[in-house]
């Protein structure tokens, strides 16, 4: 690594410079070739059988969600917001572990809640999640969802790494944090370009509860849902 810092010395004379430049160019090209080769080998290895059944089940959940989103996007605006909402709701209810998500987001406040408050908040959060998906994925611009890889985390959790490609735009990386609950794979967080929705909401909701109280948080989330409904 330290050899990198003596570069200016290598480039001291004109001739040396040219030779050095050629050398580094060649090595750069070589390393790209190497990269492509290793990608190809990697692709071959990945497409070969030893993909575990659990991985496949988790990937299938993510791809089902992506399929629904693309279908909604392609069918909009003929398929209006209430219809998109209705189609997404059962999936999100089933395939997002909403009680766990809410428990993590509300973090230390969770234990202070009554059973009734918990049930109410989980329902509210489900509505917010469905509304967000129904509203945000509302037009199609040749977006394509690609599953790249699966990484194992602690306690059997998996990270399913995907990307949204859209024409010339920079790809958006979308990672799904998943776990197996009662024999079925469920999503517990979505990480978009490195931003973990769970941590983000935990910090945000915590601030609101701390500064303004729980009732204010509930009211503001209801307003968000109403806004999504309005803007369709």
Contacting positions for other proteins (CB under 8 A): 1, 4, 7, 24-25, 27-28, 31, 103-104, 106-111, 132, 135-136, 151, 153-155, 157, 159, 173, 177, 189, 191, 193-196, 198-200, 202-208, 210, 217, 220-221, 224, 227-228, 231
* CB closer to other proteins, 46 vs 90: 46
* CB closer to other proteins, 68 vs 198: 198
Least separation in angstroms between CB 90 and other proteins: 23
Q: What is the rounded CA–CA span in Å between residue 17 and residue 211?
A: 61
Task: List the structure tokens of 206.
Answer: 């915590």
* CB closer to other proteins, 90 vs 212: 212
3-state secondary structure of 29: helix
Least separation in angstroms between CB 124 and other proteins: 12
CB 144 within 8 A of CB 134: no
Q: What is the rounded CA–CA span in Å between residue 138 and residue 79?
A: 9
How would you classify the pairing of strands 195-196 and 172-181? unpaired
CB 162 within 8 A of CB 128: no
Task: List the structure tokens of 151.
Answer: 């990484």
Least separation in angstroms between CB 200 and other proteins: 5
3-state secondary structure of 125: helix
Residue carrying structure tokens 């776990």: 179
Least separation in angstroms between CB 112 and other proteins: 9
Least separation in angstroms between CB 215 and other proteins: 13
CB 97 within 8 A of CB 181: yes
Work out the widest C-alpha separation in the chain, in whole angstroms: 79
* CB closer to other proteins, 39 vs 203: 203
* CB closer to other proteins, 48 vs 170: 170
Least separation in angstroms between CB 157 and other proteins: 7
DSSP string, 64-89: HHHHHHHHHHHHTTTS-HHHHHHHHH
* CB closer to other proteins, 47 vs 111: 111
């Amino acid at each position: 690594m330290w050899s990198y810092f003596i570069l200016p010395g290598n480039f001291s004379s004109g001739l040396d410079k040219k030779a050095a430049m050629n050398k580094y160019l060649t090595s750069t090209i070589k390393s790209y070739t190497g990269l492509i080769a290793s990608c190809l080998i990697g692709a071959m290895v990945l497409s070969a059988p030893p993909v575990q059944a659990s991985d496949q089940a988790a990937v299938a959940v993510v791809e089902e969600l992506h399929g629904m989103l693309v279908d909604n996007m392609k069918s909009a605006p003929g398929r209006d917001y209430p219809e998109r909402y209705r189609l997404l709701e059962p999936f999100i209810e089933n395939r997002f572990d909403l009680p766990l998500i809410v428990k993590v987001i509300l973090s230390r406040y969770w234990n202070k809640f009554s059973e009734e408050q918990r049930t109410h908040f989980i329902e509210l959060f489900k509505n917010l999640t469905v509304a967000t998906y129904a509203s945000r994925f509302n037009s199609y611009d040749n977006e394509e969802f690609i599953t790249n890889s699966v990484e194992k985390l602690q306690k059997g959790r998996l990270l399913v790494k995907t990307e949204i490609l859209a024409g010339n735009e920079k790809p958006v990386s979308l990672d799904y944090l998943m776990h197996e609950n009662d024999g079925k794979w469920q999503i517990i967080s979505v990480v978009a370009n490195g931003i973990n929705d769970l941590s983000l909401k935990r910090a945000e909701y915590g601030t609101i509860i701390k500064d303004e109280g729980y009732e204010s948080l509930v009211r503001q989330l209801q307003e968000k849902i109403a806004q999504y409904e309005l803007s369709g």
